[in-house]
Amino acid sequence: MKMKSVIPYCLMVGYFLFTIFCGSDTHTSAHSVDRPHKWDKFYFVHHWPVTVCKMNDNDCKDPLMYWTIHGLWPDKEEECNRTWHFNISELKDLMGDMEQYWPDVIHPNNTHFWKHEWEKHGTCAAELESLNSEKKYFNKALELYKKLDLNSYLLKLGIKPGSTYYQMAAIREALTKVYDVTPKIQCLPPEEGQLQIIGQIKFCFTKEFELRNCTESKAYSFSAHKDKFFKTEDLSNCNDTLTYYPSHITWKHFVANTVNLS
């Protein structure tokens, strides 16, 4: 009699454990399906400090004269893990490169900028094992920056900031030949009687960090790849017209010295 009473008890416990594990798996699957937008690429974003300073009405007396990192952004709209807070000590081994290549171009302290990038974008990227820590995420962005070497290639192409104007179509074509993919180039739209101003250049990467063309379906043409930290939401895709590449915060748009890159 005792043996018979034990069997139903074991079956009941087994069923209970089965329900817990299966229920947990079901919940995880449902959670992943319910995500608003499943990302499949990165935007690796460079911005031009002079334009950023101008857009933010910031008194940048001596803006950097090279393209710096704005961010490495999964193509995803929302923050992914608000409980995974930024810890500056994780970047101690990267600090030299971070300050040089990924500075806050309008504020004296970089920490708030890096915190913003990690908590909005890094925690999404951390879904990948290769980026599942602060150090991995920021280090990968630094690696991509050095690999692309945008500043050097622009100089080799004869594209320099100053009083010269460029046809945007020519800049886009030149970069496409160098990288064998088409980047997304964004400009500050022209005010009346003036020209558009180059502001950001975005390269697109797969999750395996292979360059790809920056194309997107109309279904997902939302603001996931915009970042309001520097008010760069005012930037839009450049038109294939004359474009100013500024070297000073205060400028006048006299149309002269147009360069033909072809």
Active site residues: 70, 117, 121
Question: Under a CB-based contact definition with an 8 Å cutoff, are residues 158 and 145 in contact?
Answer: no
Q: Tokens in use for 87?
A: 């810890």
- Measured in whole angstroms, how far is the alpha carbon of residue 111 from the centre of its chain? 17
Report the distance separating Cα 71 and Cα 205, nearest Å: 13
- Measured in whole angstroms, how far is the alpha carbon of residue 255 from the centre of its chain? 32
User: 108 to each of 102, 148, 211, how far by Cα in Å?
Assistant: 13, 27, 33
Report the distance separating Cα 211 and Cα 41, nearest Å: 10
Report the distance separating Cα 253 and Cα 256, nearest Å: 9
